Amino acid sequence: MTDIVFITGATSGFGRAAARRFAAAGWGVVITGRREDRLQALADELGAQVPVHYASLDVRDAAAVKAVVAALPAEFRQVKCLLNNAGLALSPNPAQSVDLDDWHTMIDTNVKGLVNVTHALLPTLIATGAGASIINIGSIAGQWPYPGSHVYGGTKAFVKQFSYNLRCDLLGTGVRVTDLAPGIAETEFTLVRTKGDQAASDRLYRGTTALSAEDIAEQMFYIATLPDHICINRVEVMPTRQAWSAFAIDRD
């Protein structure tokens, strides 16, 4: 039987690279995201290689999430790996200047969206049992504070703790849970965070070596294909050219 991976946020960045990585290894892929044209293009690209099912999905819509899972064609129903990847940061500015709507969008997507998909797929993953994985995409922002991270970092701290807590409850089911926490990676993430400021995005990645989407897809694939008895609880991955900084001090 073909192993099946269910990916949220497969229209760009890590999710799209993951679809390609898992497909290259022969996995069947369920790709989801809001931009249907991109899903269609990815399905066309991978469809000659492996079984592909795509569904346009906004993870914030719990009813839509349930409907997409319920409507999975028979050959895609036995999901072995859930990649909870869809997410975003909005506004790199200080908390006090950020719109409340932006905070709500991050919570609705990164927290509630991730929870919606997890809840809908848990029965399937438990039925799959040994070897099943949930890989939640956290961030270094969920562990380390930095200016402009405000609610984004808060949502990723939720992802970390939710992953750990899920592990406790899933003990004995065979289902593994990982918080995969990347550092700076060049995707559309900064374009989204700055609401379309391509120059700001280019500036952030210029002159350094960020992680690539493929780097993270490789980590996802590694975690999902470890022997059944191994669960990586958390992985924090930074590019070699990123590290922590000193504490900030307010002076007269």
Tell which one of 11, 85, 118, 139 touches ligand 8X3 (CB under 6 A).
139
Closest CB to ligand NDP among 8 and 128?
8
* Residue 146 falls in the annotated catalytic set: no
Q: Does 182 bind ligand NDP (CB under 6 A)?
A: yes
Q: Cα separation of 80 and 126, whole Å?
A: 9
Q: Does 15 bind ligand NDP (CB under 6 A)?
A: yes
Closest CB to ligand 8X3 among 139 and 219?
139
Q: Cα separation of 192 and 195, whole Å?
A: 5
Q: Cα separation of 45 and 39, whole Å?
A: 10
Q: Does 184 bind ligand NDP (CB under 6 A)?
A: yes
End-to-end alpha-carbon separation of the chain, Å?
A: 67
Site size toward ligand NDP, by CB under 6 A: 29
Judged by CB under 6 A, the chain residues 60 through 79 that form the site for ligand NDP are 60
Q: Which residue among the candidates 152, 164, 205, 222 is catalytic per the annotation?
A: 152
Tokens of 130: 């040994």
Tell which one of 47, 131, 174, 183 touches ligand 8X3 (CB under 6 A).
183
Strand order in the sheet with 133-137: 52-56, 28-33, 4-7, 79-84, 133-137, 176-182, 234-237
Q: Cα separation of 221 and 168, whole Å?
A: 23
Report which residue type is found at 241.
R
Tell which one of 3, 5, 6, 14 touches ligand NDP (CB under 6 A).
14
Please, are residues 179 and 234 in contact by the beta-carbon 8 Å criterion?
yes
Tell which one of 19, 54, 68, 85 touches ligand NDP (CB under 6 A).
85
Residue with tokens 């569904």: 55
Q: Which of 92, 58, 81, 85 is nearest to 182 (CA)?
A: 85
Give SS3 for 61: coil
Each residue 20-59 as x (binds ligand NDP by CB under 6 A) or -, in order, gives -------------xxx---------------------xxx
User: Which chain residues interact with ligand 8X3 by CB under 6 A?
Assistant: 139-141, 183-184
Q: Which residues are catalytic?
A: 152
User: Which chain residues interact with ligand NDP by CB under 6 A?
Assistant: 8-9, 11-15, 33-35, 57-60, 85-88, 109, 113, 137, 139, 182, 184-185, 187-189, 192
